[in-house]
C-alpha cells in the first residue's frame, strides 16, 4: 500500500460524496437538514472528530448540499479545511445554538444525531421552536453501513494488523502459560500498537471457566495447562491523520495438556458453524437469516442454548454499528457492508469458544478480511 493511496485529496473526494449523499437523502425524504455533533457521523462526513466537551461542535448539512461547521473558535485550528465546508467559529459569550438555528428553515423537519447531548437538544428546541427535530439514526446508519473504497481499504489494513497479533499468540511469541490474563491482555494491547493501530479498543483474555463469559474482563487468574483461552481484541487503524477504522478478531486456543473433556468436539462444531455463515451469507439476506446459518448447526449439535449472543455486528469508524446479524433483524444485507461473523459456544462453569472474523459483502458474498488460521492449536508456551 503506497502512501499515495491515502493522499488527503482522496479523503476529500470521499467526504464530498458523503455530504452530497446525505443532502440527497434529506431532499428525497422531506427533511431540511442533518445536524451531527458527538459520535461517528461527523468524522464520517467531514473527517473531523470534535472534542467531547461541553462546548458544542455541530456539522450542519442542509438539503441544498451546503455544509457548515459550527465550532468553538479555540478548536477551529484542529479542523483541516475542506473545500465547500464553511467554518463558523463561536466564542464564549456567544450563542452557538442561535447560530445553528440560523442555518435551518423556520419550520420543517431536521434530523439530529443520537449522540447529541440532551442539554444541547433542549437549547436547539428553544432556538428553533417551530422546527420538528427527530433522530438522524435511520438515515445516517443506513448510509454509513455501505463502505466506500477508502473505508474498505482501511478496514482491510486494520484486519491485517489484527491478524499479525493473532499470529504472535499462535506462534508463542506472546507466551501465555504461567502469566495472568491481565498480563497477556497488556501484551496483546502493546502488539496491536506495534502492528500499526493508533489506539487499542479492547483486549479480552478469558481463560479456563472465564472463557464461558463472552465479555470477560481480564483478571489476575493465572493461565495454565488444560485451560481453554479465548482472546478477542481490536484497535483503531488510521492513515494520513484521518479518522480511523476498527479491527476486531477472536481466536480461541487450548493451553497445554490435558484436553478438557468434550472441548474438541465443541470446537469442531463451532468451526463448522463459522464456515457455514462465512460461505453462506449473501447480499439480500436479512440479518436474521445470516444469523441462522451459524445458529442451526450449533443447535443441531445440541449446543443451541450455549450460543448466547448474536452472530455479528457492523464495524467501521465504530466497533459496533449497523448492520446487526441477529435473530429478529429484518433489514437486508447489501454489497459494501462490513460486519463480524462471530459465533460462540459457552458452557457455563467449564469453558467457551468463539471464532470471529471481519467480512465485507462484495459481489453478493462475504469476503473475510481476517485470514489468521482458525483451526484449534494447542499452545505450549
Which stretches of the chain bind Zn ion, using CB under 5 A?
A: 232, 248, 250, 340, 356
Give the nearer residue to Zn ion in terms of CB position, either 151 or 356.
356
Specify the pairing of strand 108-112 against strand 131-135.
parallel
Give the nearer residue to Zn ion in terms of CB position, either 97 or 233.
233
- Of the candidates 226, 227, 225, the one whose C-alpha atom is nearest the C-alpha of residue 205 is 227
Give the nearer residue to Zn ion in terms of CB position, either 144 or 313.
313
Query: At its nearest, how many Å lie between Zn ion and the CB of residue 204?
Result: 7
Query: At its nearest, how many Å lie between Zn ion and the CB of residue 313?
Result: 6
Query: At its nearest, how many Å lie between Zn ion and the CB of residue 199?
Result: 15
Chain-centroid distance, C-alpha 144? 11
Q: Give the chain's length.
A: 381
Residue 230 vs residues 66, 129, 322, 336: alpha-carbon distances, Å: 48, 52, 25, 29
> Are 346 and 213 contacting, i.e. CB atoms less than 8 angstroms apart?
yes
Give the nearer residue to Zn ion in terms of CB position, either 140 or 250.
250
Q: Assign 46 to helix, strand or coil.
A: helix
Give the nearer residue to Zn ion in terms of CB position, either 232 or 242.
232
Which grid cell sits at 157?
A: 489494513
> Are 130 and 138 contacting, i.e. CB atoms less than 8 angstroms apart?
no
Query: At its nearest, how many Å lie between Zn ion and the CB of residue 369?
Result: 13
Q: Assign 246 to helix, strand or coil.
A: strand
Query: At its nearest, how many Å lie between Zn ion and the CB of residue 326?
Result: 12
Contacts of 348 (CB under 8 A, 6+ apart): 212
Give the nearer residue to Zn ion in terms of CB position, either 82 or 203.
203
Query: At its nearest, how many Å lie between Zn ion and the CB of residue 117?
Result: 27
Amino acid at each position: 500500500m503506497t502512501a499515495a493511496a491515502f493522499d488527503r485529496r482522496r479523503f476529500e473526494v470521499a467526504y464530498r460524496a458523503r455530504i452530497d449523499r446525505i443532502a440527497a437523502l434529506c431532499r428525497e425524504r422531506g427533511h431540511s437538514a442533518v445536524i451531527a455533533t458527538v459520535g461517528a457521523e461527523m468524522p464520517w462526513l467531514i473527517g473531523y472528530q470534535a472534542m467531547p466537551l461541553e462546548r458544542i461542535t455541530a456539522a450542519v448539512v442542509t438539503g441544498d448540499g451546503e455544509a457548515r461547521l459550527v465550532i468553538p473558535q479555540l478548536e477551529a485550528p484542529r479542523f483541516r479545511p475542506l473545500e465547500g465546508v464553511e467554518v463558523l467559529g463561536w466564542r464564549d459569550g456567544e450563542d452557538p445554538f442561535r447560530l445553528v438555528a440560523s442555518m435551518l428553515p423556520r419550520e420543517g423537519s431536521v434530523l439530529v444525531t443520537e449522540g447529541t447531548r440532551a442539554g444541547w437538544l433542549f437549547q436547539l428546541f428553544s432556538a428553533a421552536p417551530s422546527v420538528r427535530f427527530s433522530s438522524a439514526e435511520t438515515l445516517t446508519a443506513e448510509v454509513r453501513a455501505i463502505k466506500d473504497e477508502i473505508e474498505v481499504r482501511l478496514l482491510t489494513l486494520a484486519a491485517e494488523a489484527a491478524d499479525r497479533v493473532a499470529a504472535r499468540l499462535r506462534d508463542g511469541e506472546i507466551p501465555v502459560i504461567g502469566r495472568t490474563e491481565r498480563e497477556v491482555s497488556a501484551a496483546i494491547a502493546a502488539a496491536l500498537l506495534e502492528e500499526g493501530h493508533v489506539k487499542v479498543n479492547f483486549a479480552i483474555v478469558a481463560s479456563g471457566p472465564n472463557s464461558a463469559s463472552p465479555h470477560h474482563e481480564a483478571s489476575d487468574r493465572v493461565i495454565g495447562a488444560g485451560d481453554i483461552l479465548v482472546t478477542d481484541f481490536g484497535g483503531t487503524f488510521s492513515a494520513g491523520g484521518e479518522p480511523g477504522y476498527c479491527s476486531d478478531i477472536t481466536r480461541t486456543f487450548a493451553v497445554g495438556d490435558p484436553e478438557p473433556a468434550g472441548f474438541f468436539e465443541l470446537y469442531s462444531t463451532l468451526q463448522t458453524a463459522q464456515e457455514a455463515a462465512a460461505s453462506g451469507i449473501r447480499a439480500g439476506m436479512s440479518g436474521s437469516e445470516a444469523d441462522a446459518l451459524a445458529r442451526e448447526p450449533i443447535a443441531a449439535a445440541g449446543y443451541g442454548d450455549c450460543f448466547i449472543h448474536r452472530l455479528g455486528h457492523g464495524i467501521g469508524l465504530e466497533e459496533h454499528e449497523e448492520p446487526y446479524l441477529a435473530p429478529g433483524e429484518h433489514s437486508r444485507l447489501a454489497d459494501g457492508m462490513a460486519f463480524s461473523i462471530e459465533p460462540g459456544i459457552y458452557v457455563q462453569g467449564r469453558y467457551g469458544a468463539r471464532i470471529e472474523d471481519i467480512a465485507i459483502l462484495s459481489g453478493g458474498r462475504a469476503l473475510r478480511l481476517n485470514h489468521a488460521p482458525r483451526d484449534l492449536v494447542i499452545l505450549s508456551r
